[in-house]
Amino acid sequence: MRNSRISIFTLAFAAYVVKTISYEPELGSARVVFQTSYGDIEFGFYPTVAPVTVDHIFKLVRLGGYNTNHFFRVDKGFVAQVADVPNGRSAPMNEEQNKVAYKTILGEFSDVKHVRGILSMGRHDDPNSGGSSFSMLLGDAPHLDGKYAVFGKVTKGDETLRKLEEVPTRREGIFVMPTERITILSTYYYDTKMESCEEERSVLKRRLEASFLEVERQRMKCFP
């Protein structure tokens, strides 16, 4: 009986550890690329984890809201944080950008861990004050788990993040900030499913062309 209890406890503990360590939400098919003055950073979203946050940030991207914005905070081994759109852009906003950029959203907190590459919403003390500022994690930060909304992760461009970590910084209160502006020059997005379809169409086209050539070869052989 005692051994049975130990076995049940061991299995339960092992299951908890596996869940804690290996929980990796599925990325959606959308990808966003920030073209910065230090290189490109590509990221994807977790729509099943933070659907409202993903919709909000992706809408801002589609509107060009992050163009001419910048990383106002770079704390090596911790975060590279994108400024909020209304205060971070160097270009004026149009009416639609302005409407979305000033919107705040509900905090969508989850069990996803804050590890390097994760995207996490910025906010004030109010848990429902997230707007358009967010961080790219430069290291593991378990103290943020469950307190800030994780909504995606970096999929390409870790070398760019490493370049950002080497930029000279200064401290202002709790923030470590770059001494020079790290500009998001432009942004674009694409869908990985569409790329897959293009590849499949290309393969099908080659197969059809090969089939046509084979039919034509047989026709010439049998019906000269």
| pLDDT value, residue 194 | 83
Q: How many domains does the chain have?
A: 1
Range of the domain at 80: 30-191
Burial (CB < 10 A; 0-12, 13-18, 19+), residue 153, is buried
We report the CATH number of the domain holding residue 89 as 2.40.100.10
Read off the amino acid at residue 104: T
Over residues 17-43, the pLDDT tens digits come to 444 454 789 999 999 999 999 999 999
**Is 21 a domain residue?**
no
8 vs 45, more confident: 45
Residues 6+ apart with CB under 8 A from 123: 107, 129, 130, 131, 148, 149
Torsional sign, CA 200, 28, 153, 84: positive
**Is 39 a domain residue?**
yes
**Is 176 a domain residue?**
yes
| pLDDT value, residue 24 | 86
Say whether 174 sits in a helix, a strand or coil: coil
Read off the amino acid at residue 47: P
For residue 50 the two structure tokens come to 């933070």
**Is 221 a domain residue?**
no
- pTM for the model stands at 0.78
pLDDT band at 195 (very low <50, low <70, confident <90, very high): low
**Is 90 a domain residue?**
yes
**Is 212 a domain residue?**
no
**Is 6 a domain residue?**
no
Over residues 131-155, the pLDDT tens digits come to 999 999 999 999 999 999 999 999 9
| pLDDT value, residue 130 | 95
